[in-house]
């Protein structure tokens, strides 16, 4: 039975998932499977964009026949001759003997190499820039040599602005019923497999990818159809951003990929101690045992992280085999522009450090940030300092000290002096106008967010800079300190109170603030933003952190910004006046008599002796006299942010913070309840 999906009315996905393939290309484990995408264009002429792997030939041919609906197949367009897309070409051409082939000259050569049958009489050659009309659609061709083989060609549908990208923008993983990028939480669930796919399959050819990305930049693209993974119909720029990083060998994050090869655990022990020291210094570490984790995963994170540490034991007067294989793999994938450190181990003649350096050094733009650390069998007590020094050196690069301006020394001196006691009226600060924003970040795949009213542009120019101030007790502040990046979603006047409650009146320490939301949008940095009730989002990278006692000030570069709507921004004053619910006065309680039988209430201090309940006809003996308890009003303070009432007879302590929203004493006003 066929299993197809519409990309649009006249373009049908006729591909298939393969979940039984153990190793893609015989080497890359695909535990989540893989999809082979093929697309059928139903115009005046019918055109099939590539075929599928032979493993799924049965469903593929059924899909093609169903999608054709009895029409003949006019053309097979071949983008790439690797057999995961080309293995069934011969069978297809036998089944559809009238079909002609659209391909370039290199494809034609490979067709003759892969198949014994001679298809040359059926081939219509195309080249860069040629235009081919299928009726309503006009196709043009973009050569993409070495993305991933030399014959690779992309096709651009000028009519509907669809780019067929061959292997580019693919991902490992079966589609599992989904077809479009917006049918999955791509950046949370699929990005790591897209990265592993790119880095291992195409990673070596960064300059060729950059070349084709430049050509694609001139095209207006509405839809992207790759040969593996999801069809992109929205937010493609976010994925493209990753390709620009990967293909230029630019780290995605300032972090450490620590790979070790250890036979009896002593090298592993040193690696664990270093990882601990790095994490204690606020550095994110991604760590692998090269004997356990397949190299493709480690290669993928080596492309992701800015700093690489390799630790390995000496073996056969060289380096342990799994580390040697990994380093060969990294070199083969053309990894470059990384900071590297090496730890070697050897009980009598340690040589692994030199071998590792010799394998790493030829990679382009590699900087060794420290001398090799040499273990003799195990880390000696007096060597812990060497690991500390290495951790310090890496942390100093990844988490540099806040930028100090020329005026800072004088300012610091002034700040350290005793504050001058002037009259500071807190009300003056309420005269500022503030916007209201949702601040979000992401650490280790978990999302965090809170409400702030402190975001503002600090500098124009390129890159633009913003500042935010976050209460230290707020969990999001800790998480931004870890991730070094955040998003600001600017709220609009139509934002409902529930949104403020979700992000402002509970703590991310014990609650998933995103539980139950239906939106999944993220910016290119992988951080969520709020797509509804907002008019803009800014993605930011922290460049400076300032401790402000109860709060922390982050200065950040804006790396991405987009306008989401024309709705007016919500100000802090608007929130208080129009969004935050007003408290209803408690109903006045009166002295009364309540019928125990039916609940009828007689209001009054005295109930006549001959009174009969008008509902159940019972007499006075069945009534209970209710006298309201007059409660003495309690003095205290109410939080103007979230409404929390804190009983208090005198003054709130200076360091008091709201247990709900974490705002400080300045945001409380006297109240009774
Ligand atoms: Fe998906 Fe290069 O083949």
Contact 286, 302 (CB under 8 A): no
Tell me the two tokens of residue 462. Answer: 């390129």
Q: How far is the CA of 658 from the centre of ligand 1 (A)?
A: 56
- Of 232-246, 343-357, 374-388, 470-484, where does mean pLDDT reach its minimum? 470-484
> Helix %, strand %, coil % for the chain, to 5?
30, 30, 40
- pLDDT greater at residue 576 or residue 287: 287
Q: Using pLDDT thresholds of 50, 70 and 90, give the confidence band for residue 363.
A: very high
Contact 171, 194 (CB under 8 A): yes
**Sign of the alpha-carbon torsion through 558, 240, 212, 9:** negative
Please tell me the residue having the least CA distance from ligand 1 atom 1.
167
Q: Using pLDDT thresholds of 50, 70 and 90, give the confidence band for residue 168.
A: very high
For range 341-370, the mean pLDDT: 97
| Nearest one of 353, 350, 552 to 467, comparing CA atoms | 552
For range 155-170, the mean pLDDT: 97
For range 119-138, the mean pLDDT: 97
- Of 23-37, 289-303, 619-633, where does mean pLDDT reach its minimum? 619-633
The minimum-distance atom of ligand 1 relative to the CA of 149 is 2
pLDDT at 417: 58
**With a threshold of 0.75, does the pTM exceed it?**
no
- pLDDT greater at residue 18 or residue 417: 18
Q: Which residue has the tokens 């001759």?
A: 81
Q: How far is the CA of 148 from the centre of ligand 1 (A)?
A: 7
Q: How far is the CA of 519 from the centre of ligand 1 (A)?
A: 32
CA distances from 74 to 125, 159, 533, 637 (A): 15, 19, 49, 78
Cα 542 off chain centre by: 17
Contacts of 291 (CB under 8 A, 6+ apart): 261, 262, 320, 322
| Nearest one of 275, 277, 488, 474 to 385, comparing CA atoms | 277
Q: Using pLDDT thresholds of 50, 70 and 90, give the confidence band for residue 292.
A: very high
The minimum-distance atom of ligand 1 relative to the CA of 201 is 2
| Nearest one of 227, 231, 175 to 51, comparing CA atoms | 227
Contact 25, 196 (CB under 8 A): no
Q: How far is the CA of 300 from the centre of ligand 1 (A)?
A: 18
CA distance 72 to 64: 10
Q: How far is the CA of 10 from the centre of ligand 1 (A)?
A: 25
The whole-chain average pLDDT of the chain stands at: 91
Q: How far is the CA of 49 from the centre of ligand 1 (A)?
A: 14
pLDDT at 576: 81
Q: Using pLDDT thresholds of 50, 70 and 90, give the confidence band for residue 404.
A: very low
The minimum-distance atom of ligand 1 relative to the CA of 148 is 2
User: Phi, psi at residue 28, to the nearest 5°?
Assistant: -100, 110
**Sign of the alpha-carbon torsion through 637, 640, 645, 646:** negative
The minimum-distance atom of ligand 1 relative to the CA of 36 is 1
CA distance 335 to 329: 9
Q: What is the per-residue burial (b if ≥16 Cβ within 10 Å, else e) of 56-79?
A: bbebbbbbbebbbeeeebbbbbbb
The minimum-distance atom of ligand 1 relative to the CA of 167 is 1
For range 56-74, the mean pLDDT: 98
- Of 78-92, 308-322, 422-436, where does mean pLDDT reach its minimum? 422-436
| Nearest one of 551, 502, 525 to 655, comparing CA atoms | 551
Please give all residues whose beta carbon lies within 6 A of any atom in ligand 1, as ranges.
80, 82, 84-85, 148, 167, 227-228
537-300-485 Cα angle (round to 5)? 25
- Of 352-366, 440-454, 607-621, where does mean pLDDT reach its minimum? 607-621
Q: How far is the CA of 599 from the centre of ligand 1 (A)?
A: 77
For range 190-212, the mean pLDDT: 95
Contact 303, 202 (CB under 8 A): no
pLDDT above 70: residue 664: yes
CA distance 530 to 503: 11
pLDDT above 70: residue 420: no
Class of residue 650 by CB neighbours under 10 A (exposed 0-12, middle 13-18, buried 19+): exposed
Contact 284, 313 (CB under 8 A): no
pLDDT at 183: 96
Tell me the two tokens of residue 113. Answer: 């190499």
| Nearest one of 264, 247, 257 to 295, comparing CA atoms | 257
Q: Using pLDDT thresholds of 50, 70 and 90, give the confidence band for residue 332.
A: very high
The minimum-distance atom of ligand 1 relative to the CA of 152 is 2
Contacts of 241 (CB under 8 A, 6+ apart): 524, 560
User: Phi, psi at residue 366, to the nearest 5°?
Assistant: -100, 135
Q: Using pLDDT thresholds of 50, 70 and 90, give the confidence band for residue 591.
A: confident
For range 279-302, the mean pLDDT: 97
Q: Using pLDDT thresholds of 50, 70 and 90, give the confidence band for residue 579.
A: confident
Please tell me the residue having the least CA distance from ligand 1 atom 3.
82
- pLDDT greater at residue 400 or residue 671: 671
């Amino acid at each position: 039975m066929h299993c197809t999906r519409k990309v649009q009315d006249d373009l049908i996905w006729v591909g298939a998932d393969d979940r039984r393939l153990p190793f893609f290309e015989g080497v890359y484990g695909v535990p989540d499977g893989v999809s082979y995408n093929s697309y059928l264009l139903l115009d005046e002429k019918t055109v099939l964009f590539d075929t599928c792997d032979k493993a799924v030939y049965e469903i593929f041919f059924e899909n093609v026949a169903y999608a054709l609906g009895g029409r003949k197949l006019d053309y097979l367009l071949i983008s790439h001759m690797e057999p995961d897309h080309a293995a069934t070409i011969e069978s297809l051409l036998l089944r559809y003997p009238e079909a002609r082939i659209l391909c370039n000259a290199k494809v034609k050569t490979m067709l003759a190499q892969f198949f014994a049958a001679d298809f040359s009489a059926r081939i219509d050659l195309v080249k860069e820039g040629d235009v081919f009309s299928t009726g309503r659609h006009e196709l043009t061709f973009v050569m993409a040599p070495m993305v991933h083989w030399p014959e690779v060609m992309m096709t651009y549908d000028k009519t509907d602005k669809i780019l067929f990208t061959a292997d580019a923008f693919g991902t490992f993983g079966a589609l599992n019923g989904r077809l479009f990028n917006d049918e999955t939480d791509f950046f949370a669930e699929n990005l790591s497999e897209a990265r592993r796919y790119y880095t291992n399959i195409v990673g070596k050819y960064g300059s060729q990818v950059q070349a084709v990305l430049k050509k694609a930049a001139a095209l207006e693209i509405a839809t992207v159809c790759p040969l593996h993974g999801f069809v992109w119909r929205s937010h493609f720029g976010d994925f493209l951003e990753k390709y620009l990083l990967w293909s230029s060998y630019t780290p995605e994050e300032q972090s450490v990929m620590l790979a070790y090869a250890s036979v009896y655990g002593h090298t592993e022990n040193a690696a664990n101690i270093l990882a601990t020291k790095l994490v204690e210094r606020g550095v994110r570490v991604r760590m692998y045992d090269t004997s356990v984790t397949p190299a493709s995963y480690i290669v993928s994170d080596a492309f992701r992280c800015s700093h690489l540490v390799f630790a390995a034991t000496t073996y056969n007067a060289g380096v342990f085999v799994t580390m040697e294989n990994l380093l060969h793999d990294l070199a083969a994938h053309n990894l470059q522009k990384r900071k590297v450190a090496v730890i070697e181990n050897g009980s009598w003649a340690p040589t692994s450090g030199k071998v590792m350096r010799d394998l790493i050094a030829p990679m382009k733009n590699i900087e060794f940030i420290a001398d090799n650390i040499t273990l003799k069998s195990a880390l000696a007590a007096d060597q812990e300092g060497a690991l500390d020094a290495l951790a310090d050196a890496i942390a100093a690069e990844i988490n540099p000290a806040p930028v100090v301006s020329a005026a800072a020394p004088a300012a610091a001196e002034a700040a350290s002096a005793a504050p001058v006691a002037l009259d500071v009226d807190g009300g003056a600060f309420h005269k500022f106008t503030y916007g209201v924003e949702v601040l979000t970040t992401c650490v280790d795949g978990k999302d965090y967010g809170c409400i702030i009213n402190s975001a503002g542009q600090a500098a124009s120019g390129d890159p633009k800079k913003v500042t935010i101030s976050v209460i230290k007790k707020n969990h999001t502040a800790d998480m931004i300190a870890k991730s070094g990046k955040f998003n600001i979603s600017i709220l609009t006047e139509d934002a409902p109170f529930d949104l403020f409650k979700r992000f402002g009146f509970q703590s991310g320490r014990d609650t998933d603030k995103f539980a139950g939301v239906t939106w999944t949008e993220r910016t290119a940095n992988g951080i969520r933003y709020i797509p509804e009730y907002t008019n803009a989002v800014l993605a930011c990278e922290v460049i400076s952190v300032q401790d402000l006692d109860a709060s922390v000030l982050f200065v950040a570069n804006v790396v991405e910004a987009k306008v989401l709507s024309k709705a007016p921004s919500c100000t802090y004053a608007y929130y208080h006046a129009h969004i935050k619910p007003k408290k209803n006065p408690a109903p006045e309680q009166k002295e009364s008599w309540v019928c125990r039988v039916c609940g009828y209430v007689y209001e009054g201090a005295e109930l006549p002796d001959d009174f009969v309940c008008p509902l159940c006809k019972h007499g006075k003996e069945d009534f209970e006299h209710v006298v309201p308890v007059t409660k003495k009003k309690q003095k205290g303070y109410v939080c103007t942010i979230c409404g929390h009432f804190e009983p208090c007879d005198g003054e709130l302590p200076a360091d008091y913070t709201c247990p709900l929203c974490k705002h400080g004493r300045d945001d409380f006003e006297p109240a009774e309840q």
